[in-house]
Structure 1
Amino acid sequence: MDTMMKGEDSEEVEIDLEDSSDPEEYDNGTEPEMLWRAPPALEDEENIHTSTLVEISDTKPLINVRDPRGINDCLKVTFEDVIAEPVSVRSGDRVWIWSHALFEVSRVWIYRIVTVLLAIPVSVISGLLFAILSCFHIWMVGPCVQCVSIGTRWLQSLWNVVLSIIVRPLLLSAGKCCGGFSVHLAKE
């Protein structure tokens, strides 16, 4: 039996290379499963209207889950988190309902308006900043760290020898000497 794997994301596919003409192999009356034939693809209604570019895009999963790592969990604020009336003082029911509705509508629409005004410029500035930092780190910091690391390899070896021959035995003996002391606190 041969096993083939393609890439890390592919499923394992088994191909039976044995002779399929053995009648005793299928005594239960079922047809053998053809492993070499792929099942017909069923198109979902979502995929009918999407192009190939959208299907392979990295941003498609982000449309539904916009905070997958929970970075902004502190911003999950509802009306009840901000405004709450105790039992002793209460406004009218209509005031409470209208306050709740206006809070939600103003929160959503003001956020949308500010997002329209600021999202694209802030995205461009953030992308530019992270691109510059990435380029600086990849082409400047990384090579400099590697050069220093290669150039000071002998110093690292010497430091390891000094630590293992001088410092470690000295601190171990000091620890054993101080380990014999005990302090007892008694209340007089």
Structure 2
Amino acid sequence: MNTMMKGEDSEEVEIDLEDSSDSDEFDNGEEPETLWRAHPSLEEKEDIHTSTMVEISDTKPLINVRDPRGINDCLKVTFEDVIAEPVSLRSGDRVWIWSHALFEVSRVWIYRVVTVLLAIPISIISGLLFAILSCLHIWIVGPCSHCVLIGAHWLQSLWSIVLGIVVRPFLTSAGRCCGGFSVHLARE
């Protein structure tokens, strides 16, 4: 049985509790390292599949880009979006720094716990639902709509003839009649 010792795969994460208003450290365009982002380990970097079949697969999870289409941009909530102190009232700097750190840590860990509890059942239910809908669309809706279109081809031809003989000349003549009118606006 494989047992894992505490010191084997542990990774150091540096937590910076300096005042968040010191923006001169990151003037070069780099974003500060946050509490929940850890650099991938050497094993994770080497475990990248290089098969061309895996690279073009739609089922391969996008580990680095989990929201490539920006569906959840509205959920990018930061501490400053929720809590802000006016200039006239200020708490101590350490209170503000620890509040910020606890907000970020609790937000991330509560999300992770809720995800562990709900993600797998919701994924199974969603997969089952989409599989049933795909099956119905492929084997029932698609063939039935093609049968209806094949059987109703004469109706489509009749409708295009009615539009070409009756409706199009009427609308064309009405457009030409109304096209002769002109409206001029003048100030009094």
Asked if Structure 1 and Structure 2 have the same fold, meaning a TM-score greater than 0.5 normalized by the shorter chain, the answer is yes
Match of 1:147 in 2: 147
Q: Per-residue deviation at 1:50?
A: 5.9
Match of 2:173 in 1: 173
Q: Per-residue deviation at 1:49?
A: 4.6
1:71 is aligned with what amino acid? I
Query: CA 1:174–1:100 in 2, change beyond 3 Å: closer, same or farther?
Result: same
1:82-161 pair list within 5 angstroms? 82-161=82-161
1:157 is aligned with what amino acid? S
Between stretches 81-90 and 154-163, larger displacement belongs to 81-90
Match of 2:27 in 1: none
1:170 is aligned with what amino acid? F
CA distance in 2, matches of 1:158, 1:88: 77
Per-residue CA deviations over 1:153-184 (Å, capped at 9, x if unaligned) read 11111111111121111101001111122344
Counterpart pick for 1:56 among 49, 54, 57 = 54
- Give the secondary-structure state (helix, strand or coil) at the position aligned to 2:62: helix
Q: What is the aligned-residue RMSD (CA, Å)?
A: 2.6
1:146 is aligned with what amino acid? H
Query: TM-score under structure 1 normalisation?
Result: 0.67
1:31-42 pair list within 5 angstroms? none
CA distance in 2, matches of 1:46, 1:119: 23
Query: CA 1:120–1:91 in 2, change beyond 3 Å: closer, same or farther?
Result: same
Per-residue CA deviations over 1:131-161 (Å, capped at 9, x if unaligned) read 0111111111111110111011111111111
Residue ranges of structure 2 left out of the alignment (5+ in a row): 1-42
CA distance in 1, matches of 2:136, 2:127: 14
Q: Per-residue deviation at 1:78?
A: 1.0
Per-residue CA deviations over 1:53-90 (Å, capped at 9, x if unaligned) read 8x827444512211111111111111112212222222
Structure showing greater relative contact order (alpha-carbon pairs closer than 8 Å, 6 or more residues apart): 2
- Give the secondary-structure state (helix, strand or coil) at the position aligned to 1:64: coil
Per-residue CA deviations over 1:2-38 (Å, capped at 9, x if unaligned) read xxxxxxxxxxxxxxxxxxxxxxxxxxxxxxxxxxxxx
2:113 is aligned with what amino acid? I
Match of 2:20 in 1: none
Match of 1:76 in 2: 76
Structure whose alpha-carbon radius of gyration is higher: 1
Residue ranges of structure 1 left out of the alignment (5+ in a row): 1-44
Query: TM-score under structure 2 normalisation?
Result: 0.67
2:103 is aligned with what amino acid? F
